[in-house]
Structure 1
């Protein structure tokens, strides 16, 4: 029987070599699409709000939006704050009932990263909120790397972060990149295995849009218990909405447009869920 407590679930998933899929959502329409896809496979999922979404709509409204969709979901929807570089935003999300928050101190030195993570962990403990930290770097967006040392997570640094800050789960830099990439990212499985051997924490794989299915599945057998998927969702959403709006801008009406867009996003999400859950 699966637990609904997120930290316990992710620990269980690591033991069982399973993985929770997290999808970055922006509004009710892409969340609706993800919920429908998860229902098709009878799976829980994580609805992740990137800081611009959480800041624009407010973490309280994001919480209420997910609460509403849990009425149609067959399984638990876990609400997560993704890639927050702000301790204060993490605290606000915790206060407003998020199930988990990510404090991303990976752009700072190790000491500062540990301090930021520890502060969020201490704040989250009494609320029972799961905390994700990051060590190493996820390439793409505005991350510039000169060599492997710039982005690969050091095993010693992972150990220090886990032991001194106490996050529940850890995102590790092992060669993945956010968004679409010109070539398939090279995942450093040797580094992933060394990290998995060094710490018991469930590990997180970021950059799920561009990773080959077989690499996702191999990573899950090596300690990855959560995967983040975002770009493929919002680009499908925007492209399909743009196509339909452009057919007749003057008559475009959101409910009619989105009724056609939701199935397109749902299909993409279903494909990613199957990649993460090949046993289904």
Structure 2
């Protein structure tokens, strides 16, 4: 198995109109499901740890978790720190061997966002090959308040300023997607995505992959999106299926037996998303 440099991989993916998925994982069990699905789909994946996971377990332990499962997987598993608002957490993750980190200053002013990103990019240069993701615009959900289109849509000028002044390797852009399940189908502003894709050469990232229609995912890939984030569908499937198994006999519930039934359910939803980005779903455009 050849593990290609992640920065090179995503730059090539943008040119080739391909996309990697970053799946938020919480422990070895959902990570195993992601690895199994990646092998069935025969493609690399990113295992992403959200800050609460890192705070609970440490970035060191998360790195060791992926290192422990990689020898059993036929495809590369890249470890990514997702939505960190802490420069120090990004630096620690880099020190502990993460392949990629996201510094999320989207709730700050543009000046502050650029400054935070620039600091992380500079630090990442001390560990060759570590990819840095930045964000412009807002991804709705998770208590993110938006007042109008102008409040959440990524400004083309701001995206260009971020890339030119801070130098992130990939750019997450707010174009109407939302984290988690949403009561209405997200309205993606493809016109803005097109403008951004024309303005910069860097691979683009879409967050909120759980609720985006398959056809919109595939359309975005053809417009420059080379990384898709998927989280909610993974952990909700995990929790719901585990609850169902526990409820059958709570007094005799034993984790290894329960997880034998739960892991295949998580794998199923992960594989479904991989089939979409690999253009193996019915939504082909």
Alignment correspondent of 2:46: 46
- Structure 1 runs, 4 residues or longer, greater than 4 Å off: none
Alignment correspondent of 1:200: 201
Q: How do residues 131-210 of structure 1 correspond to structure 2 at under 5 angstroms? A: 131-210=132-211
SS across alignment from 2:7:
helix
Counterpart Cα distance in 1 of 2:250 and 2:191: 52
Q: Mind listing any 5+ residue stretches in structure 1 that lack a counterpart?
A: none
CA distances 1:53-89 after superposition (whole Å, capped 9, x unpaired): 0110000000000001101111111000000000000
| Residue 229 of structure 1, CA deviation | 0.2
Alignment correspondent of 1:5: 5
Normalising by structure 2, we get a TM-score of 0.97
Q: Is the 8 A contact 2:29 2:263 kept in 1?
A: yes
Counterpart Cα distance in 1 of 2:181 and 2:280: 26
Counterpart Cα distance in 1 of 2:147 and 2:41: 41
Counterpart Cα distance in 1 of 2:82 and 2:212: 19
Counterpart Cα distance in 2 of 1:269 and 1:75: 15
Alignment correspondent of 2:262: 261
Alignment correspondent of 1:17: 17
Counterpart Cα distance in 1 of 2:184 and 2:35: 30
Q: Is the 8 A contact 2:2 2:76 kept in 1?
A: no
| Residue 279 of structure 1, CA deviation | 4.7
| Residue 27 of structure 1, CA deviation | 0.2
Q: Is the 8 A contact 1:24 1:48 kept in 2?
A: yes
Q: Mind listing any 5+ residue stretches in structure 2 that lack a counterpart?
A: none
Q: Number of residues paired by the alignment?
A: 280
Counterpart Cα distance in 2 of 1:109 and 1:2: 40
| Residue 3 of structure 1, CA deviation | 6.5
Counterpart Cα distance in 2 of 1:111 and 1:14: 27
Counterpart Cα distance in 2 of 1:125 and 1:139: 31
Q: Is the 8 A contact 2:103 2:134 kept in 1?
A: yes
* Pairing 1:116–2:116 present: yes
1:194–1:105 CA distance, 2 compared to 1 (3 A): same
SS across alignment from 2:71:
coil
Q: CA RMSD in A?
A: 1.2
Alignment correspondent of 1:225: 226
Alignment correspondent of 2:77: 77
* Pairing 1:89–2:97 present: no
Counterpart Cα distance in 2 of 1:66 and 1:2: 16
Q: Is the 8 A contact 1:3 1:9 kept in 2?
A: no
| Residue 194 of structure 1, CA deviation | 0.1
SS across alignment from 2:172:
strand
CA distances 1:158-183 after superposition (whole Å, capped 9, x unpaired): 00000000000000000000000011
CA distances 1:132-172 after superposition (whole Å, capped 9, x unpaired): 00000000111011100110000000000000000000000
| Residue 126 of structure 1, CA deviation | 2.1
Alignment correspondent of 1:61: 61
Counterpart Cα distance in 2 of 1:158 and 1:152: 11
